[in-house]
Amino acid sequence: MAKKQKKLPDSCGLGPALAVIGGKWKALLLWQIHQAQPCRFGELKRLQPEISEKMLIQHLREMEADGIIHREVFHQVPPRVEYSVTPEGAELDLALTPLAEWGKKHQERTEKEKAGAAHVAPEPESKAAAPG
């Protein structure tokens, strides 16, 4: 009798997908480039001011290597580089839309819960007996 093969964590497809868009910035950058394509480096930096220049460069290189964005260099003075989404990147961006919708709903729900908890009067502190 053959042993039942264990499913690997990546067998559902999330592992490889998250390897491409994992981290804090890649999904946001993909969305920004898809919305404004073509998009220049300075424009991306202005749209995501919290990201460091080093991290932006690193993520753009990784995304290009993964085939989800295209980098086009224009040989002119001053040099110009534009980023656009590849068909595979556009497909990934569309696949992330339900996740973004879930994130919006989750954020609204947690904000309501926090607001509700803030309006609840705190319970009076019980005086504990001093150790003696």
**Residue 14: its pLDDT value, please?**
80
First-last CA distance in the chain: 69
Mean predicted confidence (pLDDT) in 79-83: 91
User: What is the residue-averaged pLDDT of the chain?
Assistant: 84
Q: 86: Cβ–Cβ under 8 A, 6 or more apart, which residues?
A: 67, 68, 69, 70
Tell me the domain boundaries of the chain.
23-68
**CA gap 65, 83 in Å, rounded:** 13
| Pair 13, 25: CB distance under 8 Å | no
The tokens describing 87, both together, are 């068909």
For residues 100 and 132, what is the distance between their CA atoms, to the nearest angstrom?
57
Q: Which long-range contacts (CB under 8 A, 24 or more apart) does 125-132 make?
A: none
Q: What pLDDT digit, counting tens, does each position of 10-68 carry?
A: 567 788 888 888 888 999 999 999 988 799 999 999 999 999 999 999 999 999 999 99
- pTM of the full structure: 0.73
- Residue 44's nearest CA partner among 12, 69, 77 is 69
**Residue 36: how many CB atoms within 10 A of its CB?**
14
Region 106-113 average pLDDT: 90
pLDDT at 38: 92
